[in-house]
Amino acid sequence: MGRHNFLSIRDFSPEDIHYLLDLAHEMKTHPSAHTGVLKGKTLAMIFEKPSLRTRVSFDVGMQQLGGFSLYLSNAEINLGKRESVYDVAKNLERMVQAIMIRTYAHDIVERMAEYANIPIINGLTDYSHPCQAMADYLTMQELKGAVAGLKVAFIGDGNNVCHSLMFAGAQLGAHVWVAVPPGYEPRPEAVEWALQRGTRTGGTCTLTHDPVEAATDADVVYTDAWASMGQESEAELRRGVFAPYQVNSDLFRHAKYDALFMHCLPAHRGEEVTDEVIDSAHSVVYQQAENRLHAQKAILLELMQYREAPERPAVAARELAQFEI
């Protein structure tokens, strides 16, 4: 693919995204064919935000590929306070072969990639969640046969998951509809990028404030928590604002008869989705969660398998001068 990091789905070509999805499917179907391919390699996992699926899927994925993973919590690093992003990057590049980071500000991931001479994987930022979107579209591909032409309705907050869902949909030729309350739209530059990329693939991106319009004839209805990590103080306000955007049976019946229900989890049952929808035969949330493992194994394999340790320059003469007697 010619890329050394996995920071955003925007960084790749449509062909790259198709390749990774096909690789993920092949690795899921024939897991034994890749046993041991990352033997002796270590992934450092930095978590400023906690996670069930991200931690387990990367940890298990590395083990299944023959490598190791190392969990680093915010208490151990405290990025920007106890350790600078630069120092963390330069230390870890000498001890591990890749870094996965789950953090708040997207620029932290970008700076880590700038400073480190090893692959960096975006495990989540406030701006995007590319690994999740890869699992989402892998699930759609498995169950619908092809992604191009699907109507994918995202109903809720124009957040990081929404951004990556739009980016991947544009790469793959899907028609992504985003229904949000006024004032909670995805970032304009994210929408503009999806629209521009869609001119190449046939994909579209449509914003609306009407959840029924988005859900009507949808192949996929997707939602997420109304308040993300870091927005806890807004939770009560958001419950009132987003109540008309709840995915319940009344809304879901506007979708196609064989529509899928998707959620990146964790779900707040009774808020953004009702039990009757998330527990219905239309729901694929656990297959979607499992596919985090397979999509990320493809990313790990692509970034780490043939990646040699970076060459390091000799210590500069000016640095040695201090030791001269």
Alpha carbon distance 144, 172 (integer Å) = 13
pLDDT at residue 177 greater than cutoff 60: yes
**Confidence bin at 3 (pLDDT 50/70/90):** low
Alpha carbon distance 98, 5 (integer Å) = 9
Q: Which of 106, 111, 197, 292 is catalytic?
A: 292
Tokens of 29: 């179907």
Q: Residue 168 corresponds to which amino acid?
A: A
pLDDT at res. 228: 76
The HSE-up count of residue 155 (CA atoms within 13 Å, CB side) is 28
pLDDT at res. 325: 40
Tokens of 44: 């450092």
Q: Which of 64, 97, 132, 141 is catalytic?
A: 132
pLDDT tens digit sequence for 120-170: 999 999 999 999 999 999 999 999 999 999 999 999 999 999 999 999 999
Q: Are 209 and 179 in contact (CB under 8 A)?
A: yes
Confirm whether 126 is a catalytic residue.
no
Question: Which of 68, 15, 3 is closest to 307 using CA atoms?
Answer: 3
Confirm whether 224 is a catalytic residue.
yes
pLDDT tens digit sequence for 270-288: 999 999 999 999 999 999 9
The better pLDDT of the pair 324, 228 is held by 228
Q: Are 192 and 123 in contact (CB under 8 A)?
A: no
Alpha carbon distance 151, 42 (integer Å) = 39
Q: Which of 34, 102, 111, 294 is catalytic?
A: 102
Confirm whether 292 is a catalytic residue.
yes
Mean of all residue pLDDT scores within the chain: 93
Contacts of 322 (CB under 8 A, 6+ apart): none
Q: Which of 34, 129, 175, 197 is catalytic?
A: 129
Contacts of 88 (CB under 8 A, 6+ apart): 46, 77, 79, 112
Q: Which of 224, 246, 263, 288 is catalytic?
A: 224
**Confidence bin at 314 (pLDDT 50/70/90):** very low
Q: Are 74 and 101 in contact (CB under 8 A)?
A: no
Q: Give residue limits of the domains in the chain.
A: 9-128+292-304, 132-288
pLDDT at res. 216: 98
Q: Give the right CATH number for 9-128+292-304 from 3.40.50.1370, 3.40.50.300, 3.40.190.10, 1.20.272.10.
A: 3.40.50.1370
Confirm whether 132 is a catalytic residue.
yes
Task: Decide yes or no: CATH 3.40.640.10 for domain 132-288.
Answer: no
pLDDT tens digit sequence for 208-247: 999 999 999 999 999 999 987 667 778 899 999 999 999 9
pLDDT at res. 1: 63
pLDDT tens digit sequence for 44-82: 999 998 899 999 999 999 999 999 999 999 888 877 678
pLDDT at res. 76: 82
Would residue 57 be called left, alpha or beta, if left means φ above 0 and alpha means ψ between -120 and 50 degrees? alpha
3-state secondary structure the chain: CCCCCECCHHHCCHHHHHHHHHHHHHHHHCHHHHCCCCCCCEEEEEECCCCCHHHHHHHHHHHHCCCEEEEEEHHHHCECCCECHHHHHHHHCCCCCEEEEECCCHHHHHHHHHHCCCCEEEEECCCCCHHHHHHHHHHHHHHHCCCCCCEEEEECCCCHHHHHHHHHHHHHCCEEEEECCCCCCCCHHHHHHHHHHHHHHCCEEEEECCHHHHHCCCCEEEECCCCCCCCHHHHHHHHHHHHHHCECHHHHCCCCCCCEEEECCCCCECCCECHHHHCCCCECHHHHHHHHHHHHHHHHHHHHCCCCCCCCCCCCHHHHHHHCC
pLDDT tens digit sequence for 259-268: 999 999 999 9
pLDDT at res. 308: 57
Can 9-128+292-304 and 132-288 be said to share one CATH topology?
yes
When pLDDT is averaged across residues 110-115 and rounded to a whole number, the result is: 97
Residues in the chain: 325
Q: Which of 264, 282, 288, 294 is catalytic?
A: 264
